[in-house]
Amino acid sequence: MKKNHLNVNKQFMVGNGILAFAVILVIVIFLYSSYRLQRRAEAGRAYAERYGVCLSRGFAGDSLLVHVNDSLVFVGTVPADSFCLEVPRVADECVLFVTDGRSGRTSFFNLPAKGGEVSLRREGDEVVQEGGVLPPGA
């Protein structure tokens, strides 16, 4: 007569395998849900602040590229000596890049989080900021 043995080692290994699979499945579900919620929160973020960029002196007839962070705002020839753009705020921290087509030089300016107006002028081949940033409504 044959005696039925329970193969304890085999049962233990199968149980550990099932438990490991369950743990990995729970981790994957948790990561997926947290990334999905984070993406929803970022997609719903919009900023009400706006920037006014005024090119005041020395830009008439020049070819310029104006960027805010990685967004191209203006490309082309400046039509008049006093030219203004209205730019929406796109991130928590914004930087204005002005690239001169004539010299190829890029100037950059930090923009405040509350919006406002930035007035730029040309001094030789450089683009400089006049005064500071005016607050919105000033």
Mean pLDDT by 10 residues, the chain (138 residues): 71 94 96 85 71 81 83 82 81 83 82 81 79 53
Please tell me the predicted confidence (pLDDT) of residue 20: 97
Please tell me the predicted confidence (pLDDT) of residue 41: 66
Taking alpha carbons only, the member of 107, 104, 100, 106 closest to residue 62 is 100
The pTM of the whole model exceeds 0.95:
no
Rounded Cα distance between 84 and 18, Å, is 65
Angle CA(70)–CA(66)–CA(129) in degrees, nearest 5? 115
